[in-house]
């Protein structure tokens, strides 16, 4: 019996020893794995191609960097008198290539902000002798600038009554003494806290270059063109570029008609048409399967019929900006193929075509037109602007009046809330009365920042209400 118990004890002792040995080995293996990970996390990034950093550690670093940048922005907003602290939007550099980084100085909070407004008003011609030198309506060449100014002026009155201190300086760039080059060389824009330009593309580059040098935000509120401006984080385009419209169209077709063959009509008549075709082709990359058809003139039946499918809705993307040509093309499709239905995507310039707004004029076509702005005339703010415009200028305000009002009101609010450098707070659109701006940094193929651009697109569909959506 004793021998049996001893034997049992010996066996039990061996089992216990094996059990604790296994536990010890397991702890040692776990410790070794942890030590190996700690060595990986401790590695410093360099140019070595053999360096490895875990995804988990990369996310940790990015989170720490975001928190650091947030602290810097908060500190900058509340420390106007301290030396400027640069906030850098960092990117991983590409081998053998200098990478551009968007750098912002510390913001400046002020009791009053100076806003310089530049537009072609043609005041020397329109107001000779101290009185208007035109009848009924403003001449076409001055219409955009004057209309935008009228809306901006209404907004300035509203802001002052609300307690905003804004000092607005208006410059008529159609005058030789107030052309952008003259204003810059004379130092007349040096004190600006914000520059708003409601002029066409040819004057954009010189003002954008000045804004970058002086670190003053320049808002191009009328032209949708970047005119070759690059690496300028102080330049903002509020009206989406043609490239953004074309990319949005591809995304929408791919989403609504997956796997469907679409017909791409284009022509080489103008540079703008060629640009639109290029933007669609370069961005598409297989998202949409296109049947390509060039049509420098209205296409003949024998060239279109082989592309059509009588068993389903045919999707057309038409890269033609001329609304007159587009109108003729839509009419041809509607009349000659009345037994078929077409889903047509056109360019933003098509919005002026009367047929797409008249119910039943194109019964077998649904025309989709991307537009940059959509004013809700039933809103309280729209009604206020309409009343003020009628009181001060008579008549009904155009879209440009509302855009002038919105631009002035929103950007003045950004200045008051965030100071002169509001770029990192572009997501705050609470004070924008009409448009759901989606300001994003436009980047080139290499991933370098170019400028800020509004990416929010509205879609107008013939026979339907305008809908609001964002480009992906």
Sign of CA dihedral 183, 185, 186, 190: positive
Domains and CATH numbers, the chain: 113-239+375-458 (3.40.50.2300), 243-370 (3.40.50.2300)
pLDDT tens profile 275-300: 999 999 999 878 899 999 999 999 99
**What pLDDT does 107 receive?**
97
Q: Measuring CA to CA, which residue among 457, 3, 464 is closest to residue 248?
A: 457
Quick one: pLDDT at residue 423? 96
Predicted local distance difference test score (pLDDT) of residue 50: 36
Distance CA 222, CA 197 (A): 7
Q: Residues near 433 by Cβ (< 8 Å), separated by ≥ 6?
A: 379, 381, 382, 405, 406, 409, 410
What's the Cα-to-Cα distance from 349 to each of 184, 325, 443, rounded to whole Å?
33, 11, 25
Looking at residue 186, its pLDDT comes to 97
Structure tokens at 25: 């080995």
pLDDT at 73: 61
Of 393, 341, 350, the closest CA to residue 368 belongs to 350
Residues 124, 112: Cα–Cα separation, whole Å: 30
What pLDDT score was predicted for residue 465?
64
Write the CA distances from 131 to 124, 128, 135, 147, integer angstroms.
11, 6, 11, 18
Confidence (pLDDT) at 330: 96
Q: How far apart are CA 255 and CA 253, in angstroms?
A: 5
With contact defined as beta carbons under 8 Å apart, do 389 and 397 qualify? yes
Q: pLDDT at position 87, please? A: 41
Q: Is 234 left (phi over 0), alpha (psi -120 to 50) or beta?
A: alpha
The whole-angstrom separation of Cα 319 and Cα 329 is 12
Strand partners, 443: 449
Distance CA 345, CA 368 (A): 5
CB-CB contact of 233 with 105 (8 Å):
no
Phi, psi for residue 116 in degrees, rounded to 5: -100, 125
For strand 342-346 and strand 365-371, is the pairing parallel, antiparallel, or unpaired?
parallel
pTM, 2 dp: 0.76
Q: Calculate ∠ Cα 463-464-465, nearest 5°.
A: 135
Task: Report d(CA 52, CA 199) in Å as an integer.
Answer: 51
Crossing angle between the packed helical segments 399-418 and 380-392, to the nearest 10 degrees: 110
3-state secondary structure the chain: CHHHHHHHHHHHHHHHHHHHHHHHHHHHHHHHHHHHHHHHHCCCCCCCCCCCCCHHHHHHHHHHHHHHHHHHHHHHHCCCCCCCCCEEECCCCCCCCCCCCEEECCCCCCCCEEEEEEECCCHHHHCHHHCCCCCCCCCHHHHHHHHHHHHHHHHHHHHHHCCCCEEEEEEECCCHHHCHHHHHHCCCCCCCCEEEEECCHHHHHHHHHHHHHHCCEEEECCCCCCCCCCCCCCEEECCCCHHHHHHHHHHHHHHHCCCCEEEEEECCCCHHHHHHHHHHHHHHCCCCEEEEEECCCCCCHHHHHHHCCCCCCEEEEEECCCHHHHHHHHHHHHHHCCCCCEEEEECHHHHHCHHHCCCCCCCCEEEEEEECCCCCCCCHHHHHHHHHHHHHCCCCCCHHHHHHHHHHHHHHHHHHHHCCCCHHHCCCCCCCCCCCCCEEEEECCCCCEEEEEECEEEEEECCCCCEEEECC
Cβ count within 10 A of residue 398: 17
Q: How many CB atoms lie within 10 A of CB 80?
A: 13
**How many whole angstroms separate alpha carbon 424 and alpha carbon 419?**
11
Give every residue of the chain whose pLDDT is below 50, as ranges. 1-13, 34-52, 80-93, 471-472
Give me the pLDDT at residue 37, please: 39
Q: How far is the C-alpha of 124 from the C-alpha of 252, rounded, in Å? A: 47
């Amino acid at each position: 019996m004793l021998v049996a118990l001893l034997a049992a004890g010996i066996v039990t002792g061996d089992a216990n020893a094996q059990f604790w040995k296994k536990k010890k080995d397991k702890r040692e293996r776990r410790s070794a794995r942890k030590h190996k990970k700690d060595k990986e996390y401790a590695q410093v990034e360099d140019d070595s191609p053999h360096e490895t950093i875990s995804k988990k550690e990369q996310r940790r670093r990015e989170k720490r960097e975001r928190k650091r940048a947030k602290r810097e922005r908060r500190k900058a907003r509340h420390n106007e008198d301290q030396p400027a602290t640069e906030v850098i939007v960092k990117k991983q550099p590409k081998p053998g290539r200098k990478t551009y980084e968007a750098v912002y100085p510390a913001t400046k909070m002020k009791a009053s902000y100076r806003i310089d407004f530049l537009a072609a008003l043609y005041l020397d011609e329109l107001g000779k002798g101290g009185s208007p030198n035109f009848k009924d309506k403003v001449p076409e060449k001055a219409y955009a600038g004057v209309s935008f100014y009228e809306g901006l002026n209404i907004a300035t009155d509203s802001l002052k009554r609300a307690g905003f201190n804004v000092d607005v300086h208006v410059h008529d760039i159609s005058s030789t003494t107030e052309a952008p080059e003259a204003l810059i060389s004379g130092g007349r824009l040096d004190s600006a806290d914000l520059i708003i330009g409601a002029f066409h593309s040819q004057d954009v580059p010189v003002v954008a270059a000045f804004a970058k040098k002086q670190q003053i935000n320049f808002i191009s509120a009328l032209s949708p063109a970047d005119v070759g401006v690059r690496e300028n984080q102080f330049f903002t385009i509020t009206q989406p570029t043609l490239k953004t419209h074309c990319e949005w169209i591809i995304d929408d077709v791919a989403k609504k008609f997956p796997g469907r063959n679409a017909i791409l009509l284009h022509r080489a008549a103008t540079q703008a048409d060629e640009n639109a075709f290029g933007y669609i082709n370069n961005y598409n990359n297989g998202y949409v399967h296109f049947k390509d058809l060039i049509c420098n003139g209205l296409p003949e039946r024998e060239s279109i019929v082989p592309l059509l499918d009588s068993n389903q809705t045919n999707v057309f993307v038409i890269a033609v900006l001329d609304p007159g040509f587009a109108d003729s093309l839509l009419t041809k499709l509607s009349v000659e193929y009345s037994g078929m239905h077409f889903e047509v995507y056109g360019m933003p310039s098509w919005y002026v075509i009367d047929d797409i707004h008249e119910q039943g004029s194109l019964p077998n076509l649904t025309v989709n037109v991307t537009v940059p702005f959509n004013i809700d005339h039933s809103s309280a703010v729209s009604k206020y602007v309409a009343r003020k415009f009628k009181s001060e200028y008579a008549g009904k305000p155009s879209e440009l009046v509302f855009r002038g009002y919105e631009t002035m009101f929103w950007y003045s609010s950004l200045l008051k809330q965030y100071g002169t450098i509001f770029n990192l707070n572009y997501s705050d659109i609470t004070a924008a009365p009409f448009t759901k701006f989606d300001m994003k940094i436009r980047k080139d193929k290499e991933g370098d920042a170019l400028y800020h651009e509004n990416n929010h697109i509205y879609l107008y569909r013939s026979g339907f209400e305008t809908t609001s959506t964002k480009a992906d």
